[in-house]
Structures are given as structure tokens and as C-alpha cells.
Amino acid sequence: VLLLGHTASPKPRNPQLAYCERSMWKILSRIHGMPPESISDAASATAAQMENYQLLVNRVLQSGICIWDVLGNVHVKGRPKRKGKRKTMGDDNDARPNALLVFLKEHRSIQTIAFIGAKAHGEFIKQFGKDALKEYNAVILPSSSPANSRFTCYLFWAP
């Protein structure tokens, strides 16, 4: 399974805590039978939180789930910011996709692509076309945003 989000979070200072603040981890922890403890601020994470997060990441990866994003350069430092118009994530014309087609070609065991929200699915289609999904079981999951990551979202995400 390849679990795809829309855009990457800014790179953390501590690589061991990469993307720990994302709400999807609460859902993945429940699916993998772990307490849904989240880290709201990577800079102030305790040693126990870091250890539990790494354990969860390892369990998720060992269960055969890959995690990536459709767009990869949205939060790159030094990238010019738009002026005047309110910016939404991923709406830049110069936003570049990750090398997903290369990744999928190199990892033929992936049979399902699960999109975290309709926005991720729409961006994938925009970047790669509908035909890029024809060999895969494509699933659009509810967004894992805090507003959606309650019980209903867990039902959709559960295996």
C-alpha cells in the first residue's frame, strides 16, 4: 500500500521526528494497536514520545505501508512567497511532484494507492493523469486533518 498525502510538511530539525505532527499518526496508531499519543510540537517532544513515535513508524512500515506525498517542494526554504493573494498549499504553478511513477515502477509489489483526502487524489490526477492509476486499486480516504480524524475517519482507514 502506498499512502499518499497532498503536500509534504516542512522538514523538521530532528529527522527522527519527521512529520510527527501530522494527524494521520493518530489514526495509524489506532490501526496498529498503539495508544494514539500525538506530538503537537516536535521541538518539545519527550524522549518517551520520540521512542513511541519511532516504534509506530517502524510498525507501519513493517506492515507494508509506504507513506509519501504527491507534491514535494511546496515548503522548501528560500522559495519565493506569493504576494497579494492568499496562498493555499500546493496552488503554485511551480509546485513539483515527487517521482511517484519511478517509485511505483521500482516497487511493483504496491497494489493499492490510498490517497489521504480528495485533494491528494486530485493533485495526483493533475500531475500524472488518470492512466497512471489503471494498474492499481485506488482508494480515496477521508482527509486526516484534525477536523476529520475522529471515529468516522478511523472506520474508513481501518484495514
Q: Which residue has the cell 487524489?
A: 121
Residue % of the chain over a pLDDT of 90? 38
Q: What pLDDT score was predicted for residue 137?
A: 95
How many whole angstroms separate alpha carbon 21 and alpha carbon 40?
A: 5
Of 35 and 94, which is predicted with more confidence?
35
Q: Is the pTM of this model over 0.85?
A: no
Length of the chain: 159
Query: How far from each other are the two terminal CA atoms of the chain, in whole angstroms?
Result: 11
pLDDT tens, position by position, 99-154: 999 999 999 999 999 999 999 999 999 999 999 999 999 999 888 665 654 544 44
Band of residue 62 on the pLDDT scale cut at 50, 70, 90:
very high
